[in-house]
């Protein structure tokens, strides 16, 4: 509890600030590349649910186009990602703006991934415990299989993280995240661009 309430927020703030400063050239290069390749908006914004079920604005680099069919409806995600978008996702470069979410206090570096507001009424009481900690840029579920896991497996790992949150666990998750990013593991679920919708 001491680590979660006092140490972890300080570490998150310091590392997020350092990351933003060190990665500024990459931020600028990606901003220009996305602006040229896909246009505005460069940053994708979406409401997600954080600590204690509170909503916040979640940030990512845009990785999908606005391509539509003949009726004006957006094409499926898999058809809108494209090569550059797939590269951003496979390298996790699209997640970099979430360092600002960490700096603002919406997120942590390590924790359950933030999900959509419409999922809230679909959780069981046990699954909803994932909101007892701040959501993270990466987490236990991400290093145990990411989008190849079922929703039940993801939520079980999220709650396991809530119960076992510690400095040693965060360090282990961070190390395994770097390894997974290099290997580009678990980017998508079979038959889906990322992960199917959680239906409860």
Domain ranges of the chain: 2-183
Q: How far apart are CA 88 and CA 100, in angstroms?
A: 18
CA angle in degrees (0–180, nearest 5) for 137-134-49: 85
pLDDT at 146: 77
Residues of the chain with pLDDT > 90, as a percent, come to 68
- In this prediction, residues 118-130 reach a mean pLDDT of 97
Which band of pLDDT confidence, cut at 50, 70 and 90, is reported for residue 193? low
Q: How far is CA 94 from CA 72, 87, 183, in A?
A: 26, 9, 16
At 34-82, the pLDDT tens digits run: 999 888 999 999 999 999 999 999 999 999 887 777 787 777 777 788 8
pTM as predicted: 0.90
Q: Indicate if the pLDDT at residue 169 is higher than 60.
A: yes
* Beta-carbon count within 10 A of 45 CB: 12
């Amino acid at each position: 509890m001491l680590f979660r309430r006092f140490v972890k927020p300080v570490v998150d703030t310091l590392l997020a600030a350092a990351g933003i400063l060190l990665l500024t050239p990459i931020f600028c290069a990606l901003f220009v590349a996305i602006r040229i390749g896909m246009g505005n908006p460069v940053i994708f914004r979406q409401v997600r649910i954080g600590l204690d079920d509170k909503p916040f604005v979640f940030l990512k680099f845009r990785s999908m186009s606005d391509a539509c069919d003949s009726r004006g409806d957006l094409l499926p995600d898999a058809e809108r990602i494209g090569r550059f978008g797939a590269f951003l996702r496979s390298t996790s470069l699209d997640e970099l703006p979430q360092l600002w979410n960490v700096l603002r206090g919406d997120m942590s570096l390590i924790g359950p991934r933030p999900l959509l507001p419409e999922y809230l009424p679909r959780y069981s009481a046990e699954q909803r415990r994932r909101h007892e900690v701040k959501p993270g840029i990466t987490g236990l579920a991400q290093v145990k299989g990411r989008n190849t896991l079922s929703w039940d497996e993801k939520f079980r790992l999220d709650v396991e993280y809530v119960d076992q949150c510690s400095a040693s666990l965060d360090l282990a998750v961070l190390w395994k995240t770097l390894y997974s990013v290099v290997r580009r593991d678990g980017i998508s679920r079979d038959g889906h661009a990322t992960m199917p919708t959680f239906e409860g």
